[in-house]
Amino acid sequence: MMVFARCSAVPLLLLSLGLASAALADEHRVTGDGIGAFVVEDGKVDPDTYEGYLVYTRACMACHGPDGMGSSFAPNLIRAAERRGWESFAGTIASGREVQPGQVMPSFADDPYVMGNIPNLFSYMRARGEGGLGRGRPRIIESMQEQDDEDDASVEEASGED
């Protein structure tokens, strides 16, 4: 009985050590709860935050400047996300705004690509601010990449002819 126990204990120990290190590698520090949550690790980000970068670059950068930094025409969105919070951030994108005459923030209510990505835009801005993410195109954390491909596939299926 004792002999049997000793023999099986070694592979069991190795197995549990292997599982423990795999679990550690897969555990990413998510910052913030719910909307606007993000992961920044060694300058890399989770897939949603990366998507936020892409949407920002396509739809917002022309006015708000590269990497959320603002321009002479439109304000810095990293600070806006920090100070004004989710509701104001999302509300402004949906409704548009013109506080200073001639400096128009357009409404994106009719743009499903932007409207569907507001949480990702918010995550990207928060990653740039409190997450300390640097400028430029971030890379995706490798171990989170595969999951994203699956998500994208299911989104494409769901959206049909779009």
List contacts with ligand HEC (CB under 6 A): 59-60, 62-64, 73-75, 77, 80, 84, 89, 92-93, 97-100, 103-106, 108, 114, 121
- Kindly tell me which of 18 and 96 has the beta carbon lying closer to ligand HEC: 96
What's the start-to-end Cα distance of the chain, in Å? 65
> Across the strands, what pairs with 40?
45
- Kindly tell me which of 95 and 154 has the beta carbon lying closer to ligand HEC: 95
Question: What's the closest the beta carbon of residue 99 comes to ligand HEC, in angstroms?
Answer: 3
Q: Which two tokens stand for residue 52?
A: 């936020």
- Kindly tell me which of 13 and 83 has the beta carbon lying closer to ligand HEC: 83
Question: What's the closest the beta carbon of residue 31 comes to ligand HEC, in angstroms?
Answer: 20
- Kindly tell me which of 69 and 104 has the beta carbon lying closer to ligand HEC: 104
Report whether 41 contacts 140 (CB < 8 A): no
Question: What's the closest the beta carbon of residue 13 comes to ligand HEC, in angstroms?
Answer: 52
Burial of 17 by CB count in 10 Å (0-12 exposed, 13-18 middle, 19+ buried)?
Answer: exposed
> Across the strands, what pairs with 97?
105
Pairing of strands 44-45, 40-41: antiparallel
Question: What's the closest the beta carbon of residue 79 comes to ligand HEC, in angstroms?
Answer: 7
CB atoms within 10 A of CB 49: 29
Between CA 69 and CA 77 the distance in angstroms is 7
Question: What's the closest the beta carbon of residue 127 comes to ligand HEC, in angstroms?
Answer: 14
- Kindly tell me which of 73 and 146 has the beta carbon lying closer to ligand HEC: 73
